[in-house]
Amino acid sequence: MTEILVTGATGNVGREVVAQLLAAGTAVRALARDPQSAALPEGAEVLGGDLSEPDTLEGALTGSETVFLIWPFLTTEGAPAVLEAIARHARRIVYLSSSGVNEDAERQTDPINQLHADMERMIEKSGLEWTVLRSNTIASNARGWAEQIRTTHVVRGPDIAATAVIHERDVAAVAAHALTDDGHAGFKHVLTGPQVLGRAEQVHSIGEAIGRTTRFEKVPVQVARQQMLADGRPPALVEALLASAATRPESDLVTSTVEEITGVPARTFRSWVEEHADEFR
């Protein structure tokens, strides 16, 4: 059996993809910069490699026919070399993109969606059999509010257009099907949760789950920038996130793709919160 290589395997989505593939009896390789500290589920073959250094990928790619790709950078620099390395070994790639990508736009509304649109085009031209998963906002992003909620019960930050937040386990479930089943080649699956929620609604839902009154407080962009930089976030990431907050359009998009592919309805944000409530107490 040829193995599936999962990149971003120690992240929120990648870790779930590894777990769900293993649960289905699929042979899994997990790419990690530091295999010793990866702490991935038993059964995964954890191999060292770094997407920023394509030469380090050969060992993990040899014998891997299918690759799940999460691109962790803010530019496509280095992506051509990585895709060339993948194409030398694999025949299929599943890429995690953004539901904010507008197929018809010459330029996207913000840098993050532009990155994903550029990556999609490169993958389509790679010669690989491809599937794109355009995911909406992932629920685990809310972990970034945990310290504020624990200490002040108030989340302060830039607001951003409401979206149908999706549980990372649902993204991973669709990914597992796309990686192992036939019939997904050339598809761009748009994945959302069942309910459109703004940040204030998400913070309120967390408060209900932990039995405390919590609220979201929108702050000016300059104040948000100073705080994000003080928290140690890379300046390029800060600017990309703030650009998204400022320019990303509102969307009431809700799809049934998760249920159509997995046979199970998409989980609610509240279900995610209840699973992770202790992180916010």
Query: How far apart are the C-alpha atoms of 246 and 257, rounded to whole Å?
Result: 28
pLDDT surpasses 60 at 1: no
Read off the pLDDT of residues 72-121 as tens digits, 9 standing for 90 and up.
Answer: 999 999 999 999 999 999 999 999 999 999 988 889 988 999 999 999 99
Query: How far apart are the C-alpha atoms of 141 and 148, rounded to whole Å?
Result: 14
pLDDT surpasses 70 at 59: yes
Read off the pLDDT of residues 90-100 as tens digits, 9 standing for 90 and up.
Answer: 999 999 999 99
Mean pLDDT confidence for 192-206: 97
Nearest C-alpha neighbor of 193 from the set 106, 118, 273: 273
Considering the domain 3-136+168-191+253-266, what is its CATH architecture?
A: 3-Layer(aba) Sandwich (3.40)
Tokens of residue 221, six digits: 């962009």
Question: How many residues belong to the chain?
Answer: 281
Read off the pLDDT of residues 224-274 as tens digits, 9 standing for 90 and up.
Answer: 898 888 888 889 888 888 888 878 888 899 999 999 999 999 999 999 999
Read off the pLDDT of residues 115-148 as tens digits, 9 standing for 90 and up.
Answer: 999 999 999 999 999 999 999 999 999 999 999 9
Give the least confident one: 13-17, 49-53, 149-153, 233-237.
Answer: 233-237
Q: Return the domain boundaries, the chain.
A: 3-136+168-191+253-266
Tokens of residue 178, six digits: 């796309």
- 3-class secondary structure for 168-204? HHHHHHHHHHHHHCCCCCCCEEEECCCCEECHHHHHH
